């Protein structure tokens, strides 16, 4: 190792400040459904699942897709934040995350036409109402298809207004629970994403048809959420940057939408893809979604997160070093190793970039 090597901190371990919030490094835990809640409640599982990744050195820990209403859950086991009783269990987790150096985030979600499904390990297919399922909502009465066969109810204006109110109420509860980073889930074919894509939105009113109309539901929801979420706390939006289907939503629409979201006070775009329709042909490979984060960062002049098949420290550091994204979010790699950031600092030759918790120091 040369002097130059030791002098230069890996880019992955540089601090990142967004509004009044500073992450200790560029590594975040991507929201990952645990399907382990009863009546939406966060449990000891969530404390250990999220808490161990803060102990492992993540700068940001985003709690899984958390439903703004019972109807908005993907499965009966989803986490939720539709009632005040949900606040304290999340607050307990957030206190632990902060004590261990991570910024606590939450992803607010409504599953739209993909709601009312069995947990993945119970088959993942739609549940009939008699089998513990419930009626679903979407921009248009078009089923997702395949095993998600339920025909959703096309939302009336009253439904649109109610769901937007649910996002606002969920935002206030997130704040009360001590969350400092809030993400709206507008990807993977869930409700907000369903409005964006012409494949799932075939409305003929002000919320469908043109690009301007399809983005209206998300922009209005964002505006309402931003109004109650503190200016100093980051508001982010996860997008599926492309449907991977000709004639569907694509990266250029995502760039223009990102500009509009920035104007509404969104601070970062979390760049994912797919999930709007079944059986897409996706060129999956290491970092396959990074080009979306890079393109949006440069074209819309907004901070971005890269996510999807990011696994090695060198790969993650390269993404940050070359300005392809501001942060990386890891999902499955964090399931394999909650201490990934501690290991990454050592693999990159800079153990000083992330000291271990004092209790673990003799092992690191
Ligand atoms: C995986 C997924 C990724 C990309 C497109 C569609 C699906 N997901 C995402 C999830 C839940 C489970 C599996 C969420 O975004 C909530």
Look at the block and give the residue holding tokens 């809030």: 182
Residue 1 pLDDT exceeds 50: no
- Give me the pLDDT at residue 7, please: 55
Q: For residue 330, which phi and psi values (nearest 5 degrees)?
A: -110, 140
Cα–ligand 1 centroid distance for 221 (angstroms): 21
**Cβ neighbours for 310, distance < 8 A, ≥ 6 positions apart:** 286, 287, 290, 316, 319, 328, 329, 330, 333
Confidence of residue 279 (pLDDT cuts 50, 70, 90): confident
Closest atom of ligand 1 to CA, residue 185: 15
Q: What angle, rounded to 10 degrees, do the helices at 157-176 and 87-99 form?
A: 50
Fill in the DSSP letter of residue 34. -
Residue 5 pLDDT exceeds 80: no
Q: For residue 322, which phi and psi values (nearest 5 degrees)?
A: -90, 10
What CA–CA distance (Å, rounded) separates 54 from 93?
Answer: 10
What CA–CA distance (Å, rounded) separates 184 from 239?
Answer: 9
More confident residue, 269 or 8: 269
Which residues does the annotation mark as catalytic? 190
Average pLDDT of the segment spanning 289-311: 98
Closest atom of ligand 1 to CA, residue 189: 6
Residue nearest to atom 6 of ligand 1 (CA): 275
Q: Say which CATH superfamily domain 3-358 falls into.
A: Aldolase class I (3.20.20.70)
What CA–CA distance (Å, rounded) separates 234 from 20?
Answer: 8
Give percent above pLDDT 90 in the chain: 97
What CA–CA distance (Å, rounded) separates 38 from 78?
Answer: 8
- Give me the pLDDT at residue 201, please: 98
Question: What are the tens digits of pLDDT across the range 116-163?
Answer: 999 999 999 999 999 999 999 999 999 999 999 999 999 999 999 999
Q: What angle, rounded to 10 degrees, do the helices at 251-263 and 290-299 form?
A: 50
Look at the block and give the residue holding tokens 């003799």: 362
- What's the CA angle centered on 345, arms 341 and 351, to 5 degrees? 125
- Give me the pLDDT at residue 136, please: 98
Q: Is 300 helix (H, G, I), strand (E, B) or coil?
A: coil
Q: How far from 99 is each of 28, 103, 108, 353, CA to CA, in Å?
A: 16, 10, 23, 18
For a substitution probing ligand 1, which of 275, 283, 284 has the most ligand atoms within 8 Å of its CB?
275
Cβ of 115 below 6 Å from ligand 1 = no
Cβ of 308 below 6 Å from ligand 1 = no
Q: For residue 104, which phi and psi values (nearest 5 degrees)?
A: -85, 125
- Give me the pLDDT at residue 194, please: 98
Residue nearest to atom 15 of ligand 1 (CA): 188
Average pLDDT of the segment spanning 289-312: 98
Q: Classify residue 249 as exposed, middle or buried by CB count within 10 Å of its CB (0-12, 13-18, 19+).
A: buried
- Give me the pLDDT at residue 112, please: 98
Average pLDDT of the segment spanning 30-40: 98
- Give me the pLDDT at residue 3, please: 43
What CA–CA distance (Å, rounded) separates 250 from 264?
Answer: 21
Cα–ligand 1 centroid distance for 22 (angstroms): 27
Average pLDDT of the segment spanning 275-281: 93
Question: 16-18 and 21-23 as β-strands: parallel, antiparallel, unpaired?
Answer: antiparallel
What CA–CA distance (Å, rounded) separates 306 from 277?
Answer: 22
At 74, list the tokens: 């993907």
Concatenated DSSP letters of 100-129: TTPEEEEEEE--GGG-SB--GGGT-PBPPG
Q: Classify residue 76 as exposed, middle or buried by CB count within 10 Å of its CB (0-12, 13-18, 19+).
A: buried
CA trace torsion 64, 68, 72, 76 (10° rounding): 60
At 296, list the tokens: 């949006």
Cα–ligand 1 centroid distance for 326 (angstroms): 22
Nearest to 153 by CA among 137, 165, 164: 137
Average pLDDT of the segment spanning 317-333: 98
Closest atom of ligand 1 to CA, residue 64: 16
Q: Classify residue 136 as exposed, middle or buried by CB count within 10 Å of its CB (0-12, 13-18, 19+).
A: buried
Instruction: Give domain limits for the chain.
Output: 3-358
Q: Is 240 helix (H, G, I), strand (E, B) or coil?
A: strand
Closest atom of ligand 1 to CA, residue 109: 16
> What is the chain's mean pLDDT, rounded?
97
Question: What are the tens digits of pLDDT across the range 58-103?
Answer: 999 999 999 999 999 999 999 999 999 999 999 999 999 999 999 9
pTM of the entire predicted model:
0.97
What CA–CA distance (Å, rounded) separates 107 from 137?
Answer: 20
């Amino acid at each position: 190792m040369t002097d130059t090597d030791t002098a230069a901190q890996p880019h992955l371990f540089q601090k990142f400040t967004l509004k009044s919030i500073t992450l200790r490094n560029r590594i975040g835990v991507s929201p990952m459904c645990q399907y382990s809640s009863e009546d939406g409640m966060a449990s000891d599982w969530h404390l250990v699942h999220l808490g161990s990744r803060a102990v492992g050195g993540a700068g940001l820990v985003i709690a899984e897709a958390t439903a703004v209403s019972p109807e908005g859950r993907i499965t009966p086991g989803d986490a939720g934040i539709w009632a005040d009783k949900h606040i304290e269990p999340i607050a307990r987790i957030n206190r632990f995350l902060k004590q261990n150096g991570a910024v606590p985030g939450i992803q607010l979600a409504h599953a739209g036409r993909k709601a009312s499904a069995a947990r993945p390990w119970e088959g993942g297919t739609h549940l009939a109402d008699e089998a513990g399922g419930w009626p679903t909502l979407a921009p248009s009465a078009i089923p997702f298809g395949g095993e998600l066969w339920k025909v959703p109810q096309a939302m009336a204006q009253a439904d649109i207004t109610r769901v937007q109110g649910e996002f606002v109420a969920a935002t206030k509860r997130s704040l009360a629970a001590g969350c400092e980073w809030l993400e709206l889930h507008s990807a993977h074919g869930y409700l907000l994403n369903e409005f964006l894509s012409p494949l799932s939105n075939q409305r003929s009113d002000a919320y469908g048809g043109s690009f301007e109309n399809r983005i209206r539901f998300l922009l209005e929801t964002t505006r309402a959420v931003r109004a109650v979420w503190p200016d100093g706390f980051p508001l982010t939006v996860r997008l599926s940057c492309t449907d991977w289907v000709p004639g569907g939503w694509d990266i250029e629409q995502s760039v223009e939408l990102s500009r509009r979201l920035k104007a509404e006070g969104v601070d970062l775009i979390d760049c994912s893809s797919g999930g709007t329709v079944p059986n897409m042909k996706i060129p999956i490979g290491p970092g396959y979604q990074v080009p979306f984060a890079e393109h949006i960062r440069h074209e819309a002049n907004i901070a971005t997160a890269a996510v999807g098949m990011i696994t090695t420290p060198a790969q993650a550091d390269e993404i940050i070093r070359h300005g392809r994204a501001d942060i990386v979010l890891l999902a499955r790699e964090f399931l394999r190793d909650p201490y990934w950031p501690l290991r990454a600092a050592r693999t990159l030759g800079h153990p000083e970039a992330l000291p271990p918790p004092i209790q673990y120091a003799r092992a690191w």
